[in-house]
């Protein structure tokens, strides 16, 4: 039986620019659906680009606000708990555009839109899908990790142990604020009424369930990945360590730079972020390329020996890691990364706790000295990494099937009462 095709897809995300993996995927989905001839509306918390997303089939609605960290502390604290302007915008969009064949896909809301977006979507939650790019749907700090120690969190979100834990990277006062936001979020859309949640890796499922989401409300949909190179990068011939991502403390780029210096290996940093200026000064020997388009990253990747993903907290997926692996670049990542087990299983990299700079440096030194081992990792990565993700086409088809199932389920739900009444009367 063919699933119902949506009349309109409303994609909702904090940002309308690809500043991070979640935003890039939200934009990619909107453009992909438009290219398939579907009617798409993209709703964002920021001001959309003047030219929209570059496709006439994508209508844009934007709030025009900055991210919380760009505002004053009092304004950010209030808007982060509940953004009334975002609530009004989403409600107005639903009133103006909703039809029985409209589906809604929420990606990110923690930077601008706030839990208010969940409250505004309650009337259409039967046709709502939420992508769990992180754990903010259930975990106050969004990571199921203690940022102070870098260890996984064993607690039930919003339980007594969770509330007493000093796990937040900005301190206990900020943890209290996050607890308040999480409580408001649950009040806005209780987890026992949660719509379908899309996990991007199977290892997210038990954590989402621990947070209170029912097992049958979770589906695993890996992210789409396009490799940087369609032929294997002969990584064993190269010498340069590569980092691609936001230059922020959570991503551990400072740890990678310190380890590369200790190991005496060259490193190239692709990306921008709040630590960029300071790290350029502290590590003049490193190559900082700034933020680049995928094609430009691909050209640099052909000169790389391996990729480092030294995040200070567990990455739910690690898009750049898969892009690197699928191109033949081995990856060094923390043992707590959800992809770490997959990488170990295919023999395509190594794990190390990035806070242990001496151990991190030793891994880099060993991999840069052993061409044979590196070549074996590169071949394993290129051969097996595609199984860890989806192609863009398969991803869009999977999303459309999920949307159609939501529409079909809602239609069945509407039909059952009338069918029951007829049976009782007849």
411: confidence class by pLDDT, cuts 50, 70, 90: low
pLDDT at residue 99 is higher than 50: yes
Beta bridge partners of 267: 241
pLDDT at residue 418 is higher than 50: no
Residue 1 or residue 284, greater confidence: 284
Residue 318, burial from CB neighbour count under 10 angstroms (0-12, 13-18, 19+) = buried
* Tens digits of residue pLDDT in 68-84: 878 878 888 899 999 99
CB atoms within 10 A of CB 397: 14
Q: Over range 126-154, report the average pLDDT.
A: 91
Beta bridge partners of 145: 152
353: confidence class by pLDDT, cuts 50, 70, 90: very high
pLDDT at residue 410 is higher than 80: no
pLDDT at residue 424 is higher than 80: no
> What does the pLDDT read at residue 147?
83
Residue with tokens 């989402």: 208
CA dist., res. 349 & res. 373, Å (int): 10
> What does the pLDDT read at residue 370?
98
CA dist., res. 135 & res. 132, Å (int): 6
pLDDT at residue 377 is higher than 50: yes
Q: Find the range with the poorest average confidence among 117-121, 188-192, 283-287.
A: 188-192
Percent of residues, the chain, with pLDDT higher than 90: 82
Q: Domain residue spans in the chain?
A: 8-224+391-425, 235-388
> What does the pLDDT read at residue 419?
32
Taking the alpha carbons at both ends of the chain, their separation in whole angstroms is 29
pLDDT at residue 358 is higher than 60: yes
pLDDT at residue 364 is higher than 50: yes
pLDDT at residue 169 is higher than 90: no
* Tens digits of residue pLDDT in 302-312: 999 999 999 98
Residue 205: alpha-carbon gap to chain centroid: 15
Has domain 235-388 been given CATH number 3.90.79.10?
Answer: no
2: confidence class by pLDDT, cuts 50, 70, 90: low
Q: Over range 415-423, report the average pLDDT.
A: 35
Residue 407 or residue 4, greater confidence: 407
> What does the pLDDT read at residue 425?
40
pLDDT at residue 127 is higher than 90: yes
Q: Over range 50-62, report the average pLDDT.
A: 95
* Mean pLDDT, all residues of the chain: 92
CA dist., res. 169 & res. 11, Å (int): 30
* Tens digits of residue pLDDT in 312-330: 887 777 889 999 999 999 9
Using alpha carbons, select from 179, 189, 188 the residue that is nearest to residue 140: 179
Q: Over range 350-365, report the average pLDDT.
A: 97
User: Do the two domains 8-224+391-425 and 235-388 of this chain adopt the same fold?
Assistant: yes
Determine phi and psi for 9, rounding to 5 degrees.
Answer: -115, 125
Q: Over range 226-244, report the average pLDDT.
A: 97
> What does the pLDDT read at residue 69?
78
Homologous superfamily of domain range 8-224+391-425: Glycogen Phosphorylase B; (3.40.50.2000)
CA dist., res. 341 & res. 218, Å (int): 21
pLDDT at residue 22 is higher than 50: yes
pTM of this structure: 0.88
> What does the pLDDT read at residue 423?
33
> DSSP readout, 41-77?
EEEESSPPPTTTTS-TTEEEEE-----GGGS-HHHHH
């Amino acid at each position: 039986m063919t699933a119902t095709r949506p009349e309109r897809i409303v994609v909702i995300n904090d940002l309308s620019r690809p500043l991070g993996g979640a935003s890039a995927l939200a934009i990619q989905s909107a453009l992909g659906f438009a290219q398939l001839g579907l009617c798409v509306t993209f709703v964002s918390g920021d001001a959309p680009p003047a030219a929209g997303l570059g496709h006439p089939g994508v209508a844009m609605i934007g709030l025009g606000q900055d991210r919380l960290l760009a505002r004053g502390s009092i304004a950010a604290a209030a808007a982060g708990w509940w953004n009334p302007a975002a609530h009004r915008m989403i409600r107005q969009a639903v009133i103006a555009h909703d039809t029985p064949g409209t589906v809604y896909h929420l990606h990110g809301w923690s930077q601008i839109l706030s839990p208010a977006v969940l409250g505004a979507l309650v009337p259409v939650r039967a046709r709502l899908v939420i992508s769990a790019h992180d754990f903010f749907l259930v975990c106050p700090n969004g990571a199921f990790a203690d940022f102070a120690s870098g260890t996984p969190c064993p607690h039930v979100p919003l339980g007594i142990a969770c509330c007493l834990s000093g796990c937040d990277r900005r301190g206990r006062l900020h943890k209290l604020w996050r607890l308040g936001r999480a409580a408001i979020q649950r009040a806005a859309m209780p987890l026992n009424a949660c719509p379908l949640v899309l996990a991007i890796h199977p290892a997210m499922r038990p954590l989402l369930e621990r947070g209170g989401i029912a097992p049958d409300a979770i589906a695993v949909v890996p992210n789409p990945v396009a490799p940087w190179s369609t032929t294997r990068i002969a990584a064993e011939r190269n010498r340069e360590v590569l980092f691609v991502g936001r230059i922020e403390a959570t991503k551990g780029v400072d740890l990678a730079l310190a380890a590369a210096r200790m190991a005496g290996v060259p490193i190239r940093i692709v990306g921008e972020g709040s630590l960029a200026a300071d790290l350029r000064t502290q590590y003049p020997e490193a190559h900082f390329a700034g933020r680049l388009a995928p094609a430009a990253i691909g050209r640099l990747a052909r000169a790389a020996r391996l990729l480092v993903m030294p995040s200070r907290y567990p990455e739910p997926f690690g898009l750049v890691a898969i892009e690197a692996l699928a191109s033949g670049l081995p990856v060094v990542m923390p043992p707590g990364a959800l992809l770490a087990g997959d990488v170990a299983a295919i023999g395509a990299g190594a794990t190390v706790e990035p806070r242990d700079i001496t151990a991190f440096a030793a891994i880099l030194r060993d991999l840069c000295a052993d061409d044979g081992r590196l070549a074996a990792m590169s071949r394993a990565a290129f051969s097996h990494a595609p199984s860890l993700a989806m192609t863009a086409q398969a991803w869009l088809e999977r999303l459309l099937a999920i949307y159609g199932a939501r529409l079909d389920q809602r239609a069945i739900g509407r039909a059952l009462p009338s069918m029951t009444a007829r049976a009782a009367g007849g």
